Structures are given as structure tokens and as C-alpha cells.
Amino acid sequence: MRVAKAAAVAASRTRTRRAVPRPRKRRTLTRTPRPAVYKPAGVPLDGLRRITLLHEELEALRLADLEGLTQAEAARRMGVSRSTFQRIVTQARLQVALALTEGHALEIEGGTFEVVPPRPRGPRRRD
């Protein structure tokens, strides 16, 4: 009886409290992003559905597809885990494919990120 009562009290407490979501971790970008819109030629933007691609999703596409980095290396550069990077790049590919195949406008904006310029490669030169 005592265990059942404790469980009922615990259940009532969880119902009244609202869970506060964990804040999103900032993703690291190497370039300062600029908002942009890509749309089919000859179609006014007003009549198109807009698909939003976040700046960190564009960065994930750039690292994975343009630079050809492994997920581990790309995730390290963005400051996220491999599984988070995979979710970001999968969502980005889905949105780009949807915009291209369905003729929607692709709007690049927003996200949770910080811009950190890339470190120079190669040995340091001493003058």
C-alpha cells in the first residue's frame, strides 16, 4: 500500500511540472552565413511554398558532400556528436530534395551557431 501511494504521489508531481527543454548546443560554422533564397526560374516568390534550410544544415552539406569529410571529422569541426551530425545532414538533404523535386523555394536562414574561422593548415613559419 505504501509503495502504491508513493507512486501515485510521484505521478501527480510529474503531471503538474513542466519539463524545461535542454538548450540547443551551438554548432560551429567556418564562414559567416548570409541569408539567401533559391527558387525556380520564372515563378514569382509570392506563389511558392518556402522550405527553410538552417545555416548549420547548409554547413553540414558543405562538409559532407562538398569537402567529402567523414561524419566523425565533420562532426568534430561543427562541435557536435556524430549522431547529431547525421541527423542534421539527413534533414538538410531531405529539405533540398523536397525543394528541388517539388518546385518550392529554398530559404537559407536561422539556426543556432557560432562562427569560428578555420585554423591555418601546415607548419607554422617563423620569421
CATH number at 91 reads: 1.10.10
Tally of structural domains, the chain: 1
In a domain, 67, yes or no: yes
- Straight-line distance from the first to the last Cα atom of the chain, in angstroms, rounded to the nearest whole number: 80
Per-residue pLDDT of the chain (127 residues; tens, 9 = 90+): 555 555 555 555 555 667 888 776 677 777 777 888 889 999 998 989 999 999 899 999 999 999 999 999 999 998 899 999 999 999 999 999 999 999 999 998 877 777 777 776 667 666 5
The single-letter code of the amino acid at 117 is P
How far is it, in rounded angstroms, from Cα 19 to Cα 27?
24
Range of the structural domain that residue 61 is part of? 25-113
In Å, how far are 16, 38, 40, 50, 67 from 103, measured between CA atoms? 45, 10, 6, 10, 27
